[in-house]
Amino acid sequence: MAIGSGVCPDCGARSTRRHGWHERHLQDLPAQGASVTVKLRLQRWLCRNESCERKTFATQLPEVAASRARRTDRSAEVVYLFGHGVGGRPGERLIKRMGMPTSDDTILRCVKRRVKERSSEGKTRVVGVDDWAWRKGSTYGTIIVDLERRQVLDLFPERAAGMTADWLRQHPDVEIISRDRCGLFAQGAQEGAPQARQIADRFHIVQNLREAVQVQLGRAAGFSARPLLPTDGDEVASVRDKHGGAEHRRLSRMANQHSRQAAFDHVRVLWNEGRNVRDIVQQTGFDRRTITKWIRADTVPERSAAAPKTTSPRHFEDYLSRRWSEGCVRGRRLFQEIKARGYTGSFSNLERLLAKWRNPKCKKVTAASAVPNPRPVDPVTGRSISPIVAAALCIKPRGLLTANQAAKVDAMKKDWPEFATMRRLAMRFRGMLKSKSVGKLGAWLKDAQKSGLYAMQRFARTAQRDIDAVRNAITEPWSNGQTEGQINRLKALKRTMYGRAGPELLRARLLPV
């Protein structure tokens, strides 16, 4: 390929003095399934600029292929699309069938290089920030999504306020930030974009409300310990609001042991009456393995307790009891001593154990008198309702309830005043979100504080600390729904790569083409 002159890529000087020839072999798109290689013979020139460090250079064809590339630009585009869409090894298999044999490592390098070379296009006005689990319960990262263009903007392998703040400083055009209730994101948004309006995601707010309801129901006597078999309300002694803290938990454990013994006796009576295992399973609701084990046993089997770990003070109970008998009753001192022996738990966990030892005047209560009110019973199936189900039904509007769910709600409202109070508050809060009545938020927070329910008061205090973001959640149309959708896509990509790919490749495949 003869050209009259060439331009030095370093100094830009034009040269007409030919030095020799340079050959390039470029992989191109296949023809009828057959591999195609383009062979180019390009001229090499001498640079006439004496101050230039480059002595010779070859003619470049930027419209055909990049410098030092092994394939044409149109072929590289196909390799990138395969790598971005299906990954390394699947892309290698597919692209080989097309007549463009390329290794999986080359495909992934092409994907990573393309992401590094890309530059942000246009201004970013509305972003959604959320965390994603690299390893659930252990390691979390951060994802940032453009809510207007519905595209992932960036992905971080860590969940830290500093990273979020640095990214926002590089994008001063951001006006609105939609986020969940994570304090790190609120801090990062405040530091990196103080001019932007923060919006607490409505879905996460409702989820926080549901969790508060579940916590409150779990603290209730009838929900924390229930008889394993249905009992009449007149036969069960009510201890609600009479016990609290460690004493109440002790009574609940005793009640559960008592009800388990009653369930075992009931199963044995049915078996002695000639009932078969299937009938007993249908009548009691226990699984077949439990019924079979109880039939073969003479007494109720003891539950195997797991050995305490170093995070539990019970692991050092022998040492603590010895030091306690020696007169050392200071919690901080005992905490330092067992910490030197390998304790990895918290001081508050140790204090809960010591609180029982500091209160020796606790009266022993028989198991029969410790049985609290049973959980509310499903009027259809006759089984008790768990706190998780009750909390989900508490925040669900009446129009979305099925007939069975509505019957459960009515039963719980009748038997549990706390549930009725929380449902009224929950329905008012959902109505506020739907009607965008931000003026009612202050009155709702005051009523939640005056409700006398610990979990609702705590939810109101948390919302009060983030009041501006909660108000914006009521008035603004933006939410983190699109961000959650991108996280689902991220999870799918992570699973297709079997969790072996690093954050760089995951980010490269998640960003738009």
Architecture of domain 126-201+479-510: 2-Layer Sandwich (3.30)
- DSSP assignment of 26-60: EEEEEETTEEEEEEEEEEEEE---TT-S--EEEPP
Domain range summary for the chain, segments of one domain joined by +: 6-117, 126-201+479-510, 204-218+376-475, 227-358
> Do 127 and 146 form a contact (C-beta atoms < 8 A)?
yes
Token look-up 């490269």 returns 508
Q: Which of 210, 246, 255, 247 is nearest to 375 (CA)?
A: 255
Q: Which of 463, 458, 427 is nearest to 442 (CA)?
A: 463
**Cβ within 8 Å of residue 298, ≥6 positions away:** none
As a whole number of angstroms, the distance between CA 102 and CA 123 comes to: 37
Say what the pTM is.
0.63
Give 362: exposed, middle or buried? Use CB within 10 Å, 0-12, 13-18, 19+. Answer: exposed
Q: What is the pLDDT along the chain (513 residues), one digit of tens a residue?
A: 456 788 888 888 888 888 888 888 999 999 888 899 999 888 888 888 888 888 888 888 888 888 888 899 999 999 999 988 888 889 899 998 888 999 988 998 898 888 887 766 678 899 999 988 887 777 888 999 999 989 999 999 888 888 899 999 988 899 999 988 777 888 889 899 999 999 998 998 999 999 888 888 876 544 544 444 444 433 333 333 444 444 444 444 555 555 777 788 888 888 888 888 888 887 777 778 888 888 888 777 766 555 678 888 888 888 898 888 888 888 888 999 998 888 988 888 888 888 888 775 443 333 333 333 445 777 777 777 888 888 999 999 999 999 889 988 998 888 888 888 999 999 999 999 888 888 899 999 999 988 888 888 888 988 888 899 999 999 989 988 999 999 999 988 888 887 667 888 888 888 887
Residue 404 neighbours by CB distance under 10 Å: 12
3-state secondary structure 78-94: HHHHHHHHHCHHHHHHH
